[in-house]
Amino acid sequence: MKTVTDGKVAFAGRIVMLGCGSIGQGVLALLFKHIDITPDRMTVIAADETGSEVARSYSVTFEQVTLTQENYRKVVGGRLQPGDFLLNLSVDVSSLALIEMAAEKGALYLDTCIEPWLGGYVDMHLSLADRSNYGLWLKSKELRGKLGSDAPTAVVTHGANPGLVSHFVKQALINIARGLGRDDTPPSNRAGWAKLAQSLGIKVIHIAERDTQVANIPKAVGEFVNTWSIDGFVGEGLQPAELGWGTHERHFPGDGRRHNYGPGSAIYLMRPGCSQRVRTWTPLEGPFHGFLITHGESISLASYLTVEEGSEAVYRPTVHYAYHPADDAVLSLHELNGKNGIAQTRRRLMMDEIVSGVDELGVLLCGHDKGAYWYGSQLSIEEARNVAPHNNATSLQVTSPVMAGVIWAIENPKRGITDPEEMDFQRILDLCGPYLGPVVGKYSDWTPLTGRERLFPEDLDREDPWQFKNFRVL
């Protein structure tokens, strides 16, 4: 690794950043703090003027252009040279098209999710399987084979989740092994991590997140309010609910569907994620209901931790997101569902008006001898504002791993298309650490059966509490 005298990571190229919403605005200060880049070597291209004031406050060139299938090569490709970096924080622009173009130009790449072109998430001409993150993830694997493993590094899906949470999972596995008196040496490859998870008895991994940030401006009727990208949240919320499907599961959902292609590591439900809730737990909140929103880590983590014998998967954990956003965002989702997925025309990103709250983002690993273990970040709005401008607690949990992923790509420039699980988890956690607030690990005796006997009788699997059937809220 090359660094300059002030501790920044050396980088001789240009950065072209697509999108300047909450994440784009929040990441600028982190990039300038940790990477040797000057404003004249950075360009921001965005579809609207939302982030123009912040970008220009850093003396960064800002251009308002809506990228389409017809113009993206001319607009973006014309600005890329070998050794440059294409940082994709946009929505409605095909990640795969951008990755292929960046590779052709010899440029590095990073995004926070695999995006289709505009309308791809809700295109009724596509099957639910083709609208799933599983399908998009497999297409990235096909492109990786086409480009080769030594192509310019393209880090896919590396924000908070997907991204940071995969590194949390690895640290959590090591912590559980240590807590059980086992060997806690980090494995050196995918097979080693999968064997470790299997040996510990991990059956379920939730990305368990509770956002308690509150603003002094209440949500209005007909308004969608959120603490991060509203377009991004609405898009993924309207995709089918997806989860990595564990080998311990013995109750296949009646509305569940398998994919008839690829490794079969995930399933989807015949309903959008913004309408499906699951039971989960975090240390500060305790038990709560979260939305089963599809996310790339549900597929990539389940696949990464699969143990195979021959062509048969003998071990795989169930993996999915369980997300309770800020309360005003929950109200916004209820209104969205009531309108059958027609999004509100008024939208507001909560930032300066937030007066209190914590985004508690972590991973809940269940089924081992100690029951359940949560590991993650408990970042308050006050600390987020203290350590990084133009961020709230939610955005900083995204922008810091974006910054860390950019640095990792610069340090590892010939790795081809790379999932978060294939990166150096300790390097990422070290870079993100100063921006995550308290990072804690907590054991719990909670299960999805806890307290259910106080309610009406339910059809539950009481022999194995870690069945998806028990987590699902019907």
Please state the domain extents for the chain: 9-155, 164-392+434-473
Judged on CB neighbours under 10 Å (0-12, 13-18, 19+), 22 is buried
Which residues, including other chains, have CB under 8 Å from residue 309's CB and lie 6 or more apart? none
- How far is it, in rounded angstroms, from Cα 38 to Cα 60? 9
Cβ contact 357:213 at 8 Å:
yes
Percent of the chain at pLDDT exceeding 70: 98
Average pLDDT over residues 309-337: 97
Q: Is the pLDDT score of 5 beyond 60?
A: no
| Burial state string for 363-383 with b = 16 or more CB within 10 A and e = fewer than 16 | bbbbbbebebbbbbbbbbbeb
Residue 436, Cα to own-chain centre: how many angstroms? 15
DSSP 3: B
Distance CA 30, CA 89 (A): 15
Give the rounded percent of residues in the chain with a pLDDT score beyond 90.
92
Query: Burial, 454: exposed, middle or buried (Cβ in 10 Å; 0-12, 13-18, 19+)?
Result: exposed
pLDDT at 125 over 90: no
Task: Give the pLDDT band of residue 1 (cuts 50, 70, 90).
Answer: very low
122-136, 230-244, 361-375: which range is least confident on average?
122-136
Q: In CATH, what number does 9-155 get? A: 3.40.50.720
pLDDT at 371: 98
pTM of the model: 0.97
Q: How confident is the model at residue 364 (pLDDT cuts 50, 70, 90)?
A: very high
The hierarchical CATH code for the domain 164-392+434-473 is 3.30.360.30
Is the previous residue joined to 325 through a cis bond, with omega within 30 degrees of 0?
no
Residue-wise DSSP of 163-203 = BHHHHHHHHHHHHHHHHTT---PPPSSHHHHHHHHHHHT--
Which residues 6+ apart lie within 8 Å of 235 measured at CB? 91, 92, 121, 122
85: tokens are 């970096």
455: pLDDT strictly greater than 80? no
